Amino acid sequence: MERRDVQYQKKSYALFWAWLVLLVAVMIFYIYGGRGYFPLIGAGKNLGIVVLVFLDLLFVIILATQSVYWISGVTYEEAAAAGVSARRRFALWHLLIFLAATILFLIYCFGMKGILAPDQTRDALVAGGAVCAAVVASSRVRL
């Protein structure tokens, strides 16, 4: 039987908001002149990679802090009632699913480079599809 936490961390979204502000700052930087700092593989691919990597980073933060209540469908009370290993397992599954989506999108970006003609709209749709598929797959994971 797993030992329940005596005291779970205080409810806080400060780190989540810092992550969100950093994501928006990177996106604004990219859109308004930072394209030279990114590899020239296309705007749709670049933005898709940035979003997926930032989502991976978010789940690393969630895993490290056990702030699983940041994930939709989990309340702070449910997170507090779950044990440490349940929270870690839940966060790890989410991280692995989103890492798989990132890897698949990177394969699309670099593996299909010579096969498919450049198309920013298709690239953005594939990136969005990868995110949506990861969200649907991770929604099946239960705390």
Give the number of other Cβ atoms within 10 Å of residue 7's Cβ: 6
Query: How much is the pLDDT for 44?
Result: 82
What's the pLDDT tens digit per position in 62-111? Answer: 999 999 999 999 999 999 999 899 999 999 999 999 999 999 999 999 88
Q: How confident is the model at residue 4 (pLDDT cuts 50, 70, 90)?
A: low
Q: pTM of the entire structure? A: 0.87
- Look up residue 73 and give its two tokens: 């469908």
Q: How confident is the model at residue 1 (pLDDT cuts 50, 70, 90)?
A: very low
Query: How much is the pLDDT for 7?
Result: 80
Enumerate helices (H) and strands (E) in the chain, giving the number of each: 5, 0
